[in-house]
Amino acid sequence: MDLLGQVGDTLTPQDPADRLSNLRIELLPIDLIVQWRRCSKMADFLASYFEYHFESRVVAAQVLSTGLNELIENLAKFSADKQRPVSVEISHFGEVITFETQNEARRAEVAALRARLTRMATTDPEELFLEQLEHTASRDRAASGLGLINLKKDYGARLSAEIRAVPDDPERFHVTLQLALEVDAVERG
Amino acid sequence: MLLKISIAKTRAEVLRCQYFIAETYNRRYQIMFSEDSHDLDARIEPYPQKYLMGTVDGLIVCAFALYTRDTYVERYGGITDDEVQAELVASGVVDRYVNATRREITKLVVREGWESFGLARHIFHAALSRGFCEGDWDADGRPVLLLVCATVSILDRFFAPKGPVHSHYLAPFPRYPIHSEYRSEHDPMQSRLIIPEVDIPPEIRELTLPAVFELPARSPKAEG
């Protein structure tokens, strides 16, 4: 699939050969729509699976779960076809842990994602946090986004997306979203 | 072509109804569902407890559901006992509904492409049959009052004077972000009461389930 664009922070490429640990899960977005609590249960499960890589397990589980929950919720909300499998993959490289999600989204959702990631990459996280807090309180709790902004603000998380064309469907795009966290930042709490 | 309307009894039937309703609500209104936590401000709705499903050759083409307890209207609509009691008094049936339980018909869904077959009216009437909405689901033998909330345009479409079933206006339904996709200033939401003995004609109330209806013999529109 042709790469149409990359948006967000610049991530340092990780060599798969350096990967200490990896877990990939494929699921149907409709299962999350039908029971929304599955988003947080899945996030908690994945976070607890990886907490053993950290000295501060309790803090790590909380931080990882926050990021994963938001990515998983976004997979459910922004997948064009709720019956088409999407994936969540977590890889631990020693100094860095990455979360990667893959799904197909519609044009409008991809445009919104581009705008959001560009803003997140170019705006002070504190300012972004206050802005989003106000927006969430006054308008739309469903579109929170606070978890990821929090991870950027408190743990220096980096977030990037690759957008590729879907063959034979100009209205849909394949989105690979990656979040990278420095393990030391998580350990420092 | 035959439409069969039946109560979802097995766990598999209940799951199929939940998936059908959730998929449709999410596609149309960006709503999610949860059995153990809900938050209207975050667009997460609670599931009803009982389901009615309409099938054609085994395919679910419509569904309707019932909160047998913790009704949406009472939880989020702010309806008081006094408001319900006043309607019973006005209808002269207060003695017949002493210690009544309140249920709510909800989540009427018709499969995309099947909108012009009159399915909504069939399943609406089936939902008001004694066997479904007044079934002794909680095994307490209490009389049943029904609540409903919807936009005025939907209520007008199904209830008297357009249809044979009557209803009693209770209150405007408060505004929540979750309803933003279908309510508006011009088409607000209301909570209403249905008193089965007074408001539901006998031919609907005594309808036996499962019920089978003949549908026009033509193909549904392709799903979008």
Quick: pLDDT tens for A71-122: 999 999 999 999 999 999 999 999 999 999 999 999 999 999 999 899 999 9
pLDDT of residue B177: 82
Separation between Cα atoms, residue A60 and residue B137, nearest integer Å: 46
Nearest to A37 among B37, B41, B43 (CB): B37
Q: In Å, how far are A80, A98, A150, A172, B144 from A71, measured between CA atoms?
A: 15, 12, 13, 19, 44
Nearest to A35 among B26, B27, B33 (CB): B33
Between CA A50 and CA A43 the distance in angstroms is 11
Distance CA B218, CA A167 (A): 34
- Which residues does A contribute to its contact with B (CB < 8 Å)? 30, 32-37, 76-77, 82, 139-142, 144
CA distance B155 to A186: 54
B95 is a domain residue:
yes
pLDDT at B178 over 80: yes
Percent of chain B's residues with pLDDT above 90:
87
pLDDT over threshold 70, residue A160: yes
Contact criterion met (CB < 8 Å) for B177 and A77: no
Whether B40 is covered by a domain: the verdict is yes
* Single pTM value for the model: 0.88
Q: Which domain holds residue A87?
A: 5-11+28-188
Interface mutation target, options A32, A33, A83, A139, chain B, most CBs of B under 10 Å: A33
Q: Is residue A75 a part of any domain in this protein?
A: yes
Average of per-residue pLDDT across A129-151:
73
pLDDT digits (tens, 9 = 90+) for A18-62: 999 999 999 999 999 999 999 999 999 999 999 999 999 999 999
List the domain range (segments joined by +) for residue B131.
Answer: 2-214
Does pLDDT of A135 surpass 80?
A: no
Please state, in angstroms and rounded to a whole number, the distance separating the CA atoms of residues B146 and A82: 33
Q: Is residue B221 part of a domain?
A: no
- Best of A28, A36, A73, A171 to disrupt the B interface by mutation (most B CBs within 10 Å)? A36
CATH number of the CATH domain containing B121: 3.40.630.30
Contact across the interface for B23 and A76, Cβ inside 8 Å: no
Residue A157: the pLDDT is: 93
Lowest mean pLDDT among A138-147, A160-169, B207-216: A138-147
- Measured CA to CA, the distance from residue B142 to residue A82 in angstroms comes to 41
Residue B84 lies in a domain: yes
Name the amino acid, one letter, at A96.
V
Nearest residue of chain A to residue B22 (CA atoms): A34
3-class SS at B92?
Answer: coil
**Which residues face B65 on adjacent strands?**
B51, B106
Q: Which residues contact A83 (CB under 8 A, 6 or more apart)?
A: A28, A29, A30
Count of CB contacts below 8 A, A vs B?
Answer: 43
Q: What is the mean pLDDT of chain A?
A: 91
Q: Residue A105: phi, psi to the nearest 5?
A: -130, 160
pLDDT of residue B214: 96
Q: How far apart are CA A81 and CA A30, in angstroms?
A: 9
Residues B92-128: pLDDT tens digits? Answer: 999 999 999 999 999 999 999 999 999 999 999 999 9
Say yes or no for a CB contact (<8 Å) between A82 and B23.
yes
CATH number, domain with residue A96: 3.30.565
Number of domains comprising chain A: 1
Looking at the structure of chain B, the number of domains it has is: 1
Interface of B with A in 148-207 (CB under 8 A): 177
User: Quick one: pLDDT at residue B105?
Assistant: 98
Instruction: Compare CB distances from B18 to A34, A82, A139 and report the shortest one's residue.
Output: A34
Distance CA A53, CA A92 (A): 8
pLDDT, residue A72, reads 96
Q: Kindly determine whether residue A32 and residue B32, on different chains, have CB atoms separated by under 8 Å.
A: yes
Residue A41 lies in a domain: yes
Query: Cβ distance A22 to A49 under 8 Å?
Result: no
Are the beta carbons of B42 and A37 separated by less than 8 Å? no
ipTM comes to 0.82
- At residue B82, the pLDDT reads 94
Dist. CA B194–CA B133, nearest whole Å: 11
